[in-house]
Amino acid sequence: MIASYPQARLRRTRATAWSRALHREVLITPADLIWPLFVTEGTGVEQPIASLPGVSRWSVDGMVARAREAVDLGIPCLALFPNTQAERRSDDGREALNPDNLMCRAIRAIRDACGDAIGILTDVALDPYTTHGQDGLVNHAGYVENDATVEVLVGQSLNQAAAGADIIAPSDMMDGRIGAIRDALEGAGHANVQIMSYAAKYASAFYGPFRDAVGSRGLLKGDKKTYQMDPGNAEEALREVELDLAEGADSVMVKPGLPYLDIAVRVKEAFGVPVFAYQVSGEYAMIEAAVAAGAGERDALVLETLLAFKRAGCSGVLTYHAAHAARLLNR
């Protein structure tokens, strides 16, 4: 039991900057950040994304430059997402299995340039490769087939691991895909390739700018509610996480981030495993819109929101503000 006022004055330790720093319970550092990047075709290409102010698609050479920038800033890992050309998309997403696809070329180029100085996390799902914008294979009724999709995701994972990916991150939300991918990685000699499962990924309204970035928004037929989670469910998130851990996930992700901090807290308390949050495109765009409207100051908003993830128990955060935040934290 703590003392009562005036013996206990909680403002005492807040009175000076040095004391506030000394008593701060949670810190955010560049090492807590994963930087999502979008890769596109060409050379010397930068394509600003209108719905994500300050974020661009980069050609492979630009991705290498961003990787070197991340190393200099102390950001330990990049998350890669491809903007696949329309002519390479198909109903079955077969381009995901091409060993010379955009994602694999970016992985190899970054690995050649930076070696093991930075980690490479790769998205596993078919929506960047399909003509219909769904994360898996669709049957005649428009339903995403689970087991047939998992077979393709396994091949996609092996393709990325062979190119040099460090972390396979399945974002598709198919049942059983973590176990199938883990078994395949072990069998192919990729025992040290990690799996970060999008274990609690919700059918959210916050993904719009991301779909612009990978070119799937205008293609998406229907919605993703038959495989992504209902925003009203929390107990189900714990079941999803438990299953993915049992199947071999090394870490788990909660997505989106701030609207689902309660889920991150519950997952951390229930399982005590590394939990990552994805501060998704809609969250980023809202901060930028607030700044543009004069409703907030970017630096303060960015650092406060990132600190919230750490306070909730997250080991790290995927954020489009990663480079900006790292510059602020390195001052």
Residues that are catalytic: 201, 255
- Please give the sequence-ordered ranges of beta strands (E in DSSP) within 173-279, or none if there are none: 194-201, 251-255, 275-279
CA–CA dist 68, 213 (Å, integer):
22
φ, ψ for residue 18, nearest 5 deg? -65, -35
DSSP state of 138: E
Cβ 159 vs Cβ 126: under 8 Å = no
DSSP state of 87: G
On whether the CB atoms of residues 261 and 299 are closer than 8 A, the answer is: no
- Pairing type for strands 46-48 and 56-58 reads antiparallel
The answer to whether 231 and 202 have CB atoms below 8 angstroms apart is yes
The helix or strand, by DSSP H or E, that contains position 169, with its residue range, turns out to be strand 167-170
Residue 229 DSSP label = B
